[in-house]
Chain A
């Protein structure tokens, strides 16, 4: 190879570079269909939604489709029902996630101890998370909350509560109870993983240092669990904010819109009110708001997971 003259070496180099590029494409090409598919099913619908949000289009009046600019957005911000459902969504998400987390921590603390039948108890506690959301919503609407034959009324009957209509009287609360029931096991599992990753000698050191169980929990276990709790809250919130099944099955957002959340309200606008343009504009507003909130939330969990390595 030493005999090759400089110009030839230069050409060789150029060929080597294009070779490299070709090989790079060969390596990446198998990923291309997946990328294209992902773009088609996630990004194109959003672009279409953006386009629809600038149009007035009622499905029941053929030929009504025409460009209206930002009029739909103006209506969204004037719509008091949109504000109510947005508030409902916040209450539902924050309430569900926080209560599920508190219950999850308590149950995880229970499962972190050794007792007879722990395996069975653990399986039973996880079960709600494994039931499909529609099934769970139906279960709560009928088997649990039904005024005539519901289990809740059966249990409360000795306390003087007759045929009380739970879903009708507390629609938002009922939907939240169903969601809390479904999400508590998720929180419990995450927190349990956190509890079991806590070194035992630290707990022993604390008890030698004179700490009582509650002080150990407050001073050491809770700071250790912080990152697991944050992860649970963010992941839980992402799912709960999108929940549709429970609202649709249990209350249809009613009475009125008292238990409707944003996904349900947008659905209502598009497929019951047939206002495609307005529904699209609401969708865009929700996506933008969600991205803003999620950016902060994700930054929170990423800092808490990368910044604090365990001390050996």
Chain B
């Protein structure tokens, strides 16, 4: 159990044009489950490997419980890492895999066996303790990798996309198991994923990264309700948030031919930002005969409980809009009217991409 602090931590790969991780600041509290998320190449895995001691910290520092980790080798950091393809030791049995770290600490055989059995019980691995990793299924290997981490009782868990090699169904059930296990063990956890659903469901707080830079570090609901910039707005949420280029006028925001009227408070805050990006989540747009926007329907996804209408604004064929609708939905090719819930508008400056107002 420990606090972890990234303090301007930077990693530059030799020969690279920009830092893989650029001055990352991330205060992580004791026992917190933090998810780092972002598209490939955003530096999330590098940031995790810096914490684990597998990449150099070229500038700034990372502290575990206040102790600077610059120059400290992995083995002395008291962290446990779960790798994407598990990295189990092929020549050792499941039990030996899980007890390896304890063996390295010089803990005697009986104590080792006791702790391995305890962890195996927790993860439902008791019957596999004498098997070699090659005789296990993907899900079982994943659990062994988890077991290897928890047997240690480390200060920090580092998890690098541990679910990405599992099939969709197993991924969902394992996701909840890991989150539940972490709450029970109360060990500070840094978890890397490219899957925003994992990020939203598992993390106490989520760090969204892009091109080596932190975009926003907040709770999942904050990320969803108040994205700090256009990138976070488009990355978090599925389907993605609708985004339109708008121009600020005296009485509202003009989107092509249509005019939408945000609250006067929001309008006040938008003063000075003439060109805006207007974001609206699909659930805040509704099909309505008295709507402000005219939409040409291109495609409808019926999910059973509800449906998503994909289309474009009638007067701007290049735009994209997604509308959440009930089971009763229009057909592709139809032109419909939709209304916007203006109390859930997100405004961003078109130049900087930063959020405007509260």
A interface residues, Cβ below 8 angstroms from B: 199, 201-202, 204-212, 215, 219-220, 223-224, 308-312
Contact = CB atoms under 8 A, between A and B. Distances in A.
A201 B89 CA distance: 10
Interface string B124-141: 000000001110000001
Residue from the set B73, B81, B89, B132 with the largest chain A CB neighbour count within 10 Å:
B89
Nearest to B138: A312
A160 to B, nearest CB: 45
Contact of B75 (A199, A201, A208, A308): A208
Contacts of A206: 89, 100
Contacts of A219: 89, 92, 100
B282 interface: no
20 contacts: A202-B89, A202-B90, A204-B52, A204-B54, A205-B81, A205-B83, A205-B87, A206-B100, A207-B73, A208-B74, A208-B75, A208-B80, A209-B80, A209-B101, A210-B75, A210-B105, A211-B100, A215-B104, A220-B91, A311-B132
Contact of B90 (A207, A210, A224): A224
B53 A208 contact: yes
Contacts of B87: 199, 201-202, 204-205
Nearest to A222: B91
B91 A207 contact: no
B85 interface: yes
Interface string B144-177: 0000100010000010000000000000000000
Nearest to A200: B87
A209 B106 CA distance: 12
Nearest 5 A-B pairs (CB), nearest first? A223-B91, A311-B133, A209-B101, A201-B87, A205-B87
Interface in B50-91: 52-54, 73-77, 79-81, 83, 85, 87-91
Contacts of B100: 206, 209, 211, 219
Contacts of B53: 207-208
Given A207-B73, A207-B75, A208-B79, A311 B105 contact: no
A209 B152 contact: yes
B74 A312 contact: no
Contacts of A311: 88, 90, 132-134, 141
A209 B88 CA distance: 12
Residue from the set A199, A201, A308 with the largest chain B CB neighbour count within 10 Å:
A201
Contacts, number: 78
Given A207-B54, A207-B75, 17 more contacts: A201-B85, A202-B87, A202-B90, A204-B52, A205-B89, A205-B148, A206-B100, A208-B52, A208-B54, A208-B158, A209-B100, A223-B91, A308-B90, A309-B134, A311-B132, A311-B141, A312-B85
Nearest to B54: A204
A177 B354 CA distance: 73
Given A210-B75, A220-B91, A310-B134, A204 B81 contact: yes
A208 B89 contact: no
Nearest to A204: B54
A210 B152 CA distance: 10
Interface in B197-233: none
B357 to A, nearest CB: 44
A309 B158 CA distance: 28
Contact of A210 (B92, B101, B133): B101
A310 B75 contact: no
A220 B75 contact: no
A308 B105 CA distance: 29
Contacts of B89: 202, 205-206, 219-220
A288 B91 CA distance: 36
Contacts of A215: 104
B83 A210 contact: no
A212 B106 CA distance: 12
Contacts of B76: 210
Interface string B298-309: 000000000000
Nearest to B160: A201
Contacts of B90: 202, 224, 308, 310-311
Contacts of A212: 75, 104
Contact of B104 (A209, A309, A312): A209
Contacts of A204: 52, 54, 74, 81, 83, 87
A134 B113 CA distance: 58
A210 to B, nearest CB: 4
A309 B90 CA distance: 9
A116 to B, nearest CB: 14
A309 B136 CA distance: 13
B260 to A, nearest CB: 51
